[in-house]
Amino acid sequence: MAVTYTPKIQWPDNGRRLQAKDYKIQVPTGLSDVHIREPNFVDVAAMAARSKEHAVGQGSALSIVNGLVTRDLDVTFANPDQQWKETSGSKTGPGQFQFQGGEVFLELRLALYVIQHVQPDPKDSISKQIFAEVYGHELLHVHDEVTLVEDFLPNDLKSDTDISNLLTRPYTYGSSKQTMVVAATEFREYVRKRIAGMVWNDHWATKTNERARRRDAPEEYAKVQDRIDTLRVKQINR
């Protein structure tokens, strides 16, 4: 049965949109306004904790963290009860389960944080410029994560034979001590987690880390920090 991988980008911790033009923020080409969100402003300790907590593999090599985009990926089925049919007809396990096709959601949850001391003062033009530098860099990370899930993953997953086998062949699951209702409920969660693990480990984690490291390479972020430092000197000496 045919499967359609559908990206779903969610911002559970950044509910409000930000007007980039108010700060003259450079928005990456192709990034939808729906992903330009008001950041959560946090102190240094909270930023360090979130950076460590949400690292996918190795953490950032940066000594200065002015902003952070966290990401998490999961896989869900649009309608698991209908998409996974039990074909044996038995009232007890084990069951024979066959995927019937339909949408498989690639759920990317993003969050955006900015260090508290660069929160812009609406009446201070230099303060707004410093914020724009920090936020604009984080938007590059957002763009990388969105395009990875929207453009790369759906096509890349089509060539994964292990996932394809799970979605095309009958799968036996459960025991004779279980009712079929219980076996079916367990199986749907089991197969969801198994596919999610394959997507995470074999397709997503390496790519998201590669993109993050490229953006935050010390020589690259030094350019951003130099611009911030120049603005701070202007702010002090005006």
Tell me how far apart the alpha carbons of residues 163 and 49 are, in angstroms, rounded to a whole number.
34
Q: Is residue 59 predicted with pLDDT exceeding 60?
A: no
Q: How confident is the model at residue 56 (pLDDT cuts 50, 70, 90)?
A: low
What percent of the chain shows pLDDT beyond 90? Answer: 89
Rounded to an integer, what distance in angstroms lies between the CA atom of residue 31 and that of residue 49?
28
Residue 188 contacts residue 84 (beta carbons within 8 Å): yes
Q: How far apart are CA 75 and CA 193, in angstroms?
A: 8
In whole angstroms, what is the distance from residue 93 CA to residue 195 CA?
22
Token couple for 35: 């992903």
Q: Domain of residue 125: give its range.
A: 3-237
Name the residue among 204, 206, 43, 69 with its Cα closest to residue 139.
Answer: 69
Domains in the chain, number: 1
Listed range (48-52, 73-77, 110-114, 157-161) with the worst mean pLDDT: 48-52
Q: What is the 3-state secondary structure (H, E, C) of 118-143?
A: HCCCCCCHHHHHHHHHHHHHHHHHHH
Q: How many residues does the chain have?
A: 238
Tokens of 205: 């984690």
Nearest to 50 by CA among 63, 37, 59, 38: 59
Helix (H, G, I), strand (E, B) or coil at 133: helix
Interatomic CA distance for residues 161 and 140, integer angstroms: 32
Query: Mind listing the pLDDT tens digit for each residue in 172-201?
Result: 999 999 999 999 999 999 999 999 999 999
Q: Write down the residue that tokens 């799968």 correspond to.
A: 171
Q: What is the pLDDT of residue 51?
A: 85
- Cβ proximity of 223 and 215 under 8 Å: no
Q: Which DSSP symbol is given to 57?
A: S
What is the dihedral angle through the alpha carbons of 51, 24, 30, 203, rounded to the nearest 10 degrees?
-10
Q: What is the pLDDT of residue 60?
A: 46
Whether the Cβ atoms of residue 137 and residue 221 lie closer than 8 Å to each other: yes
Per-residue pLDDT reduced to its tens digit, 140-151:
999 999 999 999
DSSP secondary structure letters along 171-226: EEE--TTSBHHHHHHHHHHHHHHHHHHHHIIIIIHHHHHHHHHHHT-HHHHHHHHH
Structure confidence by residue, pLDDT tens digits, 112-141: 999 999 999 999 999 999 999 999 999 999
29, 214, 74, 11: CA torsion to nearest 10: -50
Looking up tokens 């929160």, which residue turns up? 119
